[in-house]
Amino acid sequence: MDYGFLLFMLLLTSAAPRGATPPAPGPAVTLTQVFAGGVVPLTYTPDQLHGAWVTLRTAPANAEVLTTMIAHERQDATQLTYYTRGQTLNVEGAAYLVAYLPQQPPGPPRRAALSPHTRLALSLLALDTLPVLSEVRTLNVKAAMAEPPLTEAEVRQEDEFRLHEVWAAITRGWRPGSEPFPTLSLEMLCANFALSKNATTEVWTGEPFLLNHALDGVTLPKDADRDEIVVAYSPPINPYEMRMVLTASGAVISRTPQSWRLMCGCSPYPPLTPAELAARHVERLHQLGTVLLRYAREHDATFPPLRDPNAMPLLLKAYGWTEELTAGVRFNYKCSARALKAFPDRAAVVLAAEIDPAADGTRTVLFADGHAAHVDAAEWKKLEPTLGK
């Protein structure tokens, strides 16, 4: 059992008695029995909250809080929200209300009360010392899990936080002043954070930032004004169209539409347009295709072994291979060490493809005849199964 998320809160009064102790309901149980999970569940998840649950708030201002197990508690201790069905329990002769306190998982704080990953941990509230209960409401799980819309200030704060995270990821694998500038990709950011791609994507949901690929592999002049060079930026924040910008100095600044256009217009490395970025990706995979076919021509018309990434530099460097060509690329292992003649219609056979799609869902694909193309999400859905595992 995972006890890391369990929180048993026994609210014991430290003030003067306020009246007669209410009778303890039912036969007495021990704390040991409660802790073993045989009396009431120790935790719930939101999808288990069936029946007549209510939420209530209580301020333990005059209570001593005994925490027997530590959990990821993020609520304000002066005003706690509990979830309960009104069940009471006799624990060693004292009456307690059985309630549950939400424990948010690690990661950026959520604005919704609950998430699919929330654990609700058992809390026992002593009835004879329980402070005033307020805001007792019927629980609507669907409404509790809905994220309220962000205000402009909250969007700006969130974008600023994410862009600082981007800079932290970049500088884990590259030191400012050591040139050239690294090739920016989500894969590189994930690797530098030592996180899985899914974990990082969950933190950076939606379209939280765009990378300036005009800097990829560029050596910045020593006298360059790095405060005016864009590394990454957020989409515009409505309704004022402000956006947050990460510069090559590591600073995160806000820009109005006018100052953003001026910054891009004066920069020697303005962010690429979607068309320019797509063209650059196509050219990169076309170069990779040229390298692979050069190898094939000198090895009995056979593709190189593609399953071993460690062997690639040794086998392909003489044909123009660079690490940048294969960064963020997934190969079709069905073509590995296979003769070209095994694929009669090579123009329709996927040889490699980018792992991450662009913001609009498109991605670049390299075909076995050496040509590369940008395909939309619908076309990729047809092509992806042909790559195999």
What region, left, alpha or beta, does residue 218 occupy, with left being phi > 0 and alpha being psi -120 to 50 degrees? beta
134 vs 145: CA distance, rounded Å? 21
Q: How many residues does the chain have?
A: 389
Question: With contact defined as beta carbons under 8 Å apart, do 170 and 99 qualify?
Answer: no
Integer CA distances (angstroms), 18 to 98, 275, 332, in order: 21, 73, 74
- Closest CA relative to residue 205, chosen from 144, 142, 158: 158
Identify the pLDDT of residue 62: 39
Identify the pLDDT of residue 157: 82
102 exposure class (CB count in 10 Å sphere: 0-12, 13-18, 19+): buried
Gap between the terminal Cα atoms of the chain: 35
SS3 at position 244: strand
241 vs 256: CA distance, rounded Å? 7
Whether residue 239 has a cis bond before it, omega within 30° of 0: yes
Amino acid letter, residue 278: A
Strand partners, 379: none
30 vs 354: CA distance, rounded Å? 59
SS3 at position 219: coil
Identify the pLDDT of residue 26: 66
CA-based torsion, 47, 52, 58, 64: positive or negative: negative
371 vs 217: CA distance, rounded Å? 24
Backbone angles phi, psi at 54, to 5 degrees: -130, 160
Amino acid letter, residue 367: F
Question: With contact defined as beta carbons under 8 Å apart, do 335 and 305 qualify?
Answer: no
Instruction: Give the largest CA-CA distance in the chain.
Output: 94
306 exposure class (CB count in 10 Å sphere: 0-12, 13-18, 19+): buried
Identify the pLDDT of residue 332: 92
Give this prediction's pTM. Answer: 0.51
Tell me the two tokens of residue 145: 């899990």
Alpha-carbon dihedral angle through residues 366, 370, 374, 375, given to the nearest 10 degrees = -60
363 vs 345: CA distance, rounded Å? 22
Per-residue pLDDT 10s for the chain (389 aa) are 443 333 333 333 333 344 445 555 667 888 888 888 888 999 998 888 888 898 888 765 434 333 333 333 344 444 578 899 988 888 888 888 888 988 765 545 555 677 777 888 898 888 877 766 777 888 888 887 776 776 777 778 878 888 888 888 888 877 777 778 887 776 667 666 654 343 344 344 444 678 888 888 888 888 888 899 999 888 777 666 788 899 999 999 999 888 988 888 888 888 888 788 888 889 999 999 999 999 999 999 999 998 887 888 888 989 998 887 888 899 999 999 999 999 999 999 999 999 888 777 889 999 999 999 999 989 999 988 888 66
